[in-house]
């Protein structure tokens, strides 16, 4: 389980300042930080939000005893990232809360929804960061709703949610 290091605590403190800033909280953008603590903004779109909602609905339909989490901030070795959709078992969610806010421990499933602003290289980097933070699986949803499932390697379906569809 990832521990809260001095670097992580500094990121968490920086994130608390960002989220408490009234000017930044009103921005219509997804807010993340990079490895140097700089703020990175990404605009929202209806289609992106729709795919996030569809994934979250399906997770809630196909899982038990856990939490579906939209826009989860996660403290990583390359800054605080916003996981588009996440799922955590009840036990993992408790463990995540113990690491601080934002957590340094990833939920079991982290889902990234592609947008025009994303590249597959960026998705692969986030996949590596989420796995490093403890995610068991990372799913990537393309703009057409096709879902790709990754554990150690790409899989045909999720091991954690085997009946989750490959298209949303």
- pLDDT tens for 72-115 read 999 999 999 999 999 999 999 999 999 999 999 999 999 999 98
Question: What is the mean pLDDT of the segment spanning 146-158?
Answer: 97
Beta bridge partners of 88: 67
If you average pLDDT over every residue of the chain, what do you get?
A: 91
> 69 near 86, Cβ under 8 Å?
yes
- The first and second tokens of residue 140, run together, are 């990537």
| Predicted model pTM | 0.88
Distance CA 66, CA 113 (A): 21
Q: State the pLDDT confidence band at 149, using cuts at 50, 70 and 90.
A: very high
Handedness of CA 57, 126, 113, 137 (dihedral sign): negative
> 116 near 145, Cβ under 8 Å?
no
Q: State the pLDDT confidence band at 39, using cuts at 50, 70 and 90.
A: confident
């Amino acid at each position: 389980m990832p521990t809260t290091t001095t670097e992580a605590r500094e990121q968490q403190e920086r994130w608390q300042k960002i989220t408490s800033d009234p000017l930044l909280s009103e921005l219509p953008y997804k807010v993340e930080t990079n490895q140097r603590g700089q703020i990175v903004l990404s605009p929202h779109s209806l289609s992106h939000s729709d795919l996030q909602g569809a994934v979250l609905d399906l997770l809630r339909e196909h899982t038990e005893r856990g939490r579906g989490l939209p826009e989860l901030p996660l403290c990583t070795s390359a800054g605080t990232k916003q996981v588009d959709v996440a799922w955590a078992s009840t036990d993992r969610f408790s463990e995540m809360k113990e690491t601080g806010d934002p957590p340094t421990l990833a939920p079991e499933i982290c889902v990234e929804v592609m947008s025009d602003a994303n590249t597959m290289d960026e998705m692969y980097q986030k996949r590596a960061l989420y796995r490093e933070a403890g995610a068991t699986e990372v799913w990537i949803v393309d703009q057409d709703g096709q879902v790709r499932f990754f554990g150690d390697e790409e899989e045909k379906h999720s091991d954690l949610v085997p009946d989750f569809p490959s298209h949303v």
